[in-house]
């Protein structure tokens, strides 16, 4: 799915980062969203919210943590036979801003639910959708700034960015 998304984005001129925070994220979240809708319609709103939050925690902790854990064992040893920890290369600030943005979305989500009496309504849904759109815009802007600082190619080809 990741490979298909990246190649499709390349064919139509969309940067892999944009494909990741939109198409790929939506594609992997639809089953969880449908399960939450079914739970909510069955009168289990708490289960719906727990499913949505729990699946994201699982994606972050296992989806990132487990591959990095395995990489440490696969790439962590040296020729001398002694074990050295493998360091995953990450650019300065490459994780800090997205993590802060994620934390901000959690704060906004909990805040709006508390302000609205812990009731999921059309207003809350619209608010959360707006927060997601802002997240995508900010994430793409952040990645564009990071790319410019590193001297990498722009997010969109010239004919699409004008």
Q: What would the pLDDT profile of 22-72 be if each residue is shown by its tens digit?
A: 887 787 788 888 888 898 889 888 888 888 888 888 888 888 888 888 877
CB atoms within 10 A of CB 106: 12
Alpha helices in 76-121 (DSSP H): 96-115
Check: pTM over 0.75? Answer yes or no: no
Highest mean pLDDT of the ranges 12-16, 70-74, 101-105, 156-160: 101-105
DSSP sequence for 1-51: -HHHHHHHHHHHT--HHHHIIIIIHHHHHHHHHHHHHHHHHTT-HHHHHHH
CB atoms within 10 A of CB 90: 9
- What distance in Å separates the CA atoms of residue 26 and residue 21, rounded to the nearest whole number? 8
Average pLDDT over residues 104-124: 90
CB atoms within 10 A of CB 15: 20
CB atoms within 10 A of CB 19: 21
Average pLDDT over residues 127-150: 81
């Amino acid at each position: 799915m990741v490979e298909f998304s990246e190649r499709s984005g390349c064919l139509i001129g969309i940067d892999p980062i944009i494909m990741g925070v939109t198409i790929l994220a939506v594609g992997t979240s639809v089953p969880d969203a449908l399960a939450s809708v079914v739970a909510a319609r069955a009168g289990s709103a708490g289960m719906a919210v727990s499913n949505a939050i729990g699946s994201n925690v699982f994606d972050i902790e296992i989806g990132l943590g487990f591959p990095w854990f395995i990489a440490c064992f696969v790439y962590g040893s040296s020729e001398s036979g002694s074990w050295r920890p493998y360091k995953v290369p990450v650019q300065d600030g490459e994780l800090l801003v997205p993590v802060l943005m994620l934390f901000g979305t959690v704060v906004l989500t909990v805040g709006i639910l508390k302000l609205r009496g812990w009731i999921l309504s059309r207003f809350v849904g619209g608010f959360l959708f707006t927060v997601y759109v802002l997240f995508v815009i900010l994430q793409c802007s952040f990645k564009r700034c990071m790319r410019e600082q590193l001297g990498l190619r722009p997010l969109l080809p010239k004919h699409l960015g004008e």
